Structure 1
Amino acid sequence: MRSLLKIALLFTVAFTFYACPQDDIGPQATPARPYAEVYQEDLAKIEEFLDTHYVTVDANYNTEFFEIPEGGTQTPISAMTELESINRNIHNISYKIYYLKLREGVGESPTRIDSSFVSYKGNLMSDVSVTFDQSSTPVWFALEDVIRGWGEIIPQFKTGTHTANPDGTITFDNYGAGVMFLPSGLGYFNTATGNIPSYSPLIFNFKLYNLQFRDHDRDRILSKYEYGSDFNAEAIDTDNDGLPDYIDVDDDGDGTLTKKEIKFTYMDGGVEKTGYYPYNGATIDNPVTPYDERRGIPRKFTGPIVPPSTLPSALESDFTDPNRLRRHLDKTCKPPYSN
Structure 2
Amino acid sequence: MKSLLKTLLTFALIVSLFSCEEDDGVSLTPVRPYDEVFVEDSTKIRDFMNSHYITYDSDYNVTFTQIPDGGTQTPISEMNELDTIQRKIHDITYVIYYLKLREGTGENITRVDSSFVSYKGVIFNKTTTDDEVTYNQTVFDNKQTPIWLSLDEVIRGWSEIIPLFKTGDFTTQTDGSISYNNYGAGVMFIPSGLAYFSTGTLTIPSYTPTIFTFKLHNLRRRDHDQDGILSMHEYGNPLDEDRFKKDAIDTDGDGRPDYLDIDDDGDGYLTKTEVRFTYVDGGQTITSYYPFQGATTDDPSTPYDDRRGIPRKFTGPIVSPSTLPSPIEADFTDVARLRRHLDKTCKPPYQN
Task: Give TM-score, length-normalised by structure 2.
Answer: 0.85
Is residue 15 of structure 2 the alignment partner of residue 5 of structure 1? Answer: yes
Matched residue SS, 1:5: helix
Bigger mean CA offset, 89-98 vs 235-244: 235-244
Is residue 207 of structure 2 the alignment partner of residue 194 of structure 1? Answer: no
Match of 1:257 among 270, 273, 291: 270
CA contact (8 A) 2:19 2:196 kept: no
CA contact (8 A) 1:4 1:147 kept: no
Matched residue SS, 1:308: coil
CA contact (8 A) 1:238 1:245 kept: yes
Is residue 340 of structure 2 the alignment partner of residue 327 of structure 1? Answer: yes
What does residue range 136-215 of structure 1 map to in structure 2 within 5 Å? Answer: 136-215=144-223
Specify the code of the residue in structure 1 equivalent to 2:121. G
Corresponding residue for residue 234 of structure 1: 247
Matched residue SS, 2:224: coil
Counterparts of 2:100 and 2:17 in 1: how far apart (Å)? 26
Counterparts of 2:123 and 2:174 in 1: how far apart (Å)? 39
Counterparts of 2:115 and 2:19 in 1: how far apart (Å)? 21
1:307, CA displacement in angstroms?
6.6
1:314, CA displacement in angstroms?
6.4
1:11, CA displacement in angstroms?
6.8
Q: Kindly tell me: are residues 177 and 68 of structure 1, through their superposed partners in 2, closer, same or farther at Cα, counting changes over 3 Å? A: same
Counterparts of 2:228 and 2:75 in 1: how far apart (Å)? 48
Counterparts of 2:261 and 2:21 in 1: how far apart (Å)? 25
Matched residue SS, 1:144: coil
Corresponding residue for residue 218 of structure 1: 226
Bigger mean CA offset, 218-227 vs 230-239: 230-239
1:33-87 superposed Cα distances (whole Å, 9 cap, x missing partner): 1010110111111112111110001110001111111111101111111111111
CA contact (8 A) 1:132 1:194 kept: no
Matched residue SS, 1:125: strand
1:151-174 superposed Cα distances (whole Å, 9 cap, x missing partner): 111111111101223332221111
Task: Give TM-score, length-normalised by structure 1.
Answer: 0.88
Q: Kindly tell me: are residues 128 and 180 of structure 1, through their superposed partners in 2, closer, same or farther at Cα, counting changes over 3 Å? A: farther
Is residue 292 of structure 2 the alignment partner of residue 291 of structure 1? Answer: no
1:7, CA displacement in angstroms?
7.2
Specify the code of the residue in structure 2 equivalent to 1:5. V
Counterparts of 1:300 and 1:31 in 2: how far apart (Å)? 48
User: If each structure's helix is expressed as a fraction of its own residues, which one has the higher value?
Assistant: 1
1:305, CA displacement in angstroms?
6.5
Matched residue SS, 1:50: helix
Bigger mean CA offset, 227-236 vs 216-225: 227-236
Corresponding residue for residue 79 of structure 2: 80
Matched residue SS, 2:244: coil
1:114, CA displacement in angstroms?
1.7
CA contact (8 A) 2:304 2:322 kept: no
Bigger mean CA offset, 133-142 vs 302-311: 302-311
Q: Kindly tell me: are residues 63 and 311 of structure 1, through their superposed partners in 2, closer, same or farther at Cα, counting changes over 3 Å? A: closer
1:312, CA displacement in angstroms?
4.8
Counterparts of 1:320 and 1:9 in 2: how far apart (Å)? 38
Counterparts of 1:86 and 1:228 in 2: how far apart (Å)? 20
Q: Which runs of 5+ in 2 are unaligned?
A: 1-8, 126-134, 238-242
Counterparts of 2:327 and 2:203 in 1: how far apart (Å)? 67
1:106, CA displacement in angstroms?
1.0
Q: How many residues align?
A: 325
CA contact (8 A) 2:51 2:67 kept: yes
1:241-279 superposed Cα distances (whole Å, 9 cap, x missing partner): 222211111111222211111111223344332221111
Counterparts of 2:14 and 2:273 in 1: how far apart (Å)? 38
Q: Which runs of 5+ in 1 are unaligned?
A: 19-29
Counterparts of 2:103 and 2:89 in 1: how far apart (Å)? 25
